[in-house]
Amino acid sequence: MKKNSHKQTLSESLIIEKYLKKLNFKKKESFNFENDGAYLNVAKDEKIIVSNDTIVEGVDFFTNDSADSIAHKIICYNLSDLSSMGASPYCFNLSLGLPKKISKKWLHTFSLKILKLQKKYKFFLLGGDIAQTKHIIISATFFGKIRKSKIIRRDGAKINDDIWVTGNLGNSFAGLMLKKNIIRENDSIKKFFIKKYLYPNPCMIGNKLRIIATSAIDISDGFYGDLDKLLLRKNLGANIDVGSIPILPKLKNLIRLHRIKINKLLSAGDDYEILFTSNPKKRNFINALSKKIKIKITKVGTIINKKGIYADGKILNLNKRSFQYHF
């Protein structure tokens, strides 16, 4: 019997029906994707925090990166933004710019990864758009919920506040350097750090920081650059104890061997940890919280009444304050 050689094309409606509708969990806010818009359910004492990130093939991820990793990044970038403001994820819009070469396997892997993250962090797909593009372009707009009085802003730091960071810094940068073969290490080290680069995990403790933090930001554009953003509006400065910055022993070894420079590492992005300030009276509470939730939270410095960022008392000359696109 002759096989049917006709190949079913991946139309917009097919992609929605087969790969995206399952991400909605039949939530009434989206009207089952059958209308031109959707709505948000908000209680009287709640506010909606909105975040957006866009990633482009060849710019924000490599052409040979897996659909699994790409999905992980676009979701976690946005979750990190919500967490830094104290919000809990509610729903999101997803816009896909896809080339003709995109495969069903790619779409299956991409949507399955998002589904896993949805189940873990409790949010659903509200709507979005699909377009045909030369390269993969993905944009996600996230909506998070928070009590009106609990929003954490960037501009609340005060003189003598402690400076804290969650987790460990620099892993993603080390992974990027290894993936690009700028530095070379054994297979075990290479695999470990490249995974950290491909799968950064957002620190979802924003709801715990609402009563602690005077200001906060997620570390997406580099520790020093993002710290600078907390300082600029208030014309404040910071003194950082570089030795206290949490860095994995494996990475410290690369620094010791001069494979990576510490200042370059702390100016690089994609850590997606939370950098926040807090009143010194909260130290015991923060240390107890860290033990309770089993997430490392480390005091790394102090807000000072002098402009600039000082590393162990010496002012840093930051030519590149944080990552930015230049056109």
Q: What does the pLDDT read at residue 318?
A: 72
> How many of the other CB atoms lie within 10 Å of CB of 141?
18
In the prediction, which pLDDT does 258 show?
87
Residue 4's SS3 state is coil
- Ordered by where they begin, the domains of the chain are 12-150 (3.30.1330.10), 162-315 (3.90.650.10)
Residue 235: predicted pLDDT: 84
Q: Is the separation of the CB atoms in 78 and 118 below 8 Å?
A: no
**SS3 of residue 310 by DSSP:** strand
pLDDT in tens, 167-211: 999 999 999 999 999 999 999 999 999 999 999 999 999 999 999
User: If pLDDT is split at 50, 70 and 90, which confidence band does 234 have?
Assistant: confident
Tell me the pairing of strands 137-147 and 308-311: unpaired
Would the pLDDT of 30 be above 90?
yes
Nearest to 28 by CA among 126, 150, 161: 126
* Mean pLDDT taken over the chain: 93
* Alpha-carbon gap, residue 152 to 127, rounded angstroms: 27
| 280-305: pLDDT as tens digits | 999 999 999 999 999 999 999 999 99
Question: What pLDDT digit, counting tens, does each position of 91-150 carry?
Answer: 999 999 999 999 999 999 999 999 999 999 999 999 999 999 999 999 999 999 998 889
In the predicted structure, residue 323 carries a pLDDT above the cut 80? no
Say whether pLDDT at 326 is over 80.
no
Q: Does 25 score more than 80 pLDDT?
A: yes
pLDDT tens-place string over residues 262-279: 999 999 989 999 999 999
What is the C-alpha to C-alpha distance for residues 182 and 170, in angstroms, rounded to an integer?
Answer: 15
Rounded to whole angstroms, how far apart are CA atoms 222 and 241?
A: 16
Q: Tens digits of per-residue pLDDT, 44-70?
A: 999 999 999 999 999 999 999 999 999
Q: Give the pLDDT band (50/70/90) at residue 327.
A: low
Closest CA to 229 of 155, 120, 169: 155
Of 219, 224, 232, 265, give the one whose Cα is nearest residue 81: 219
Give the pLDDT score at 228.
Answer: 94
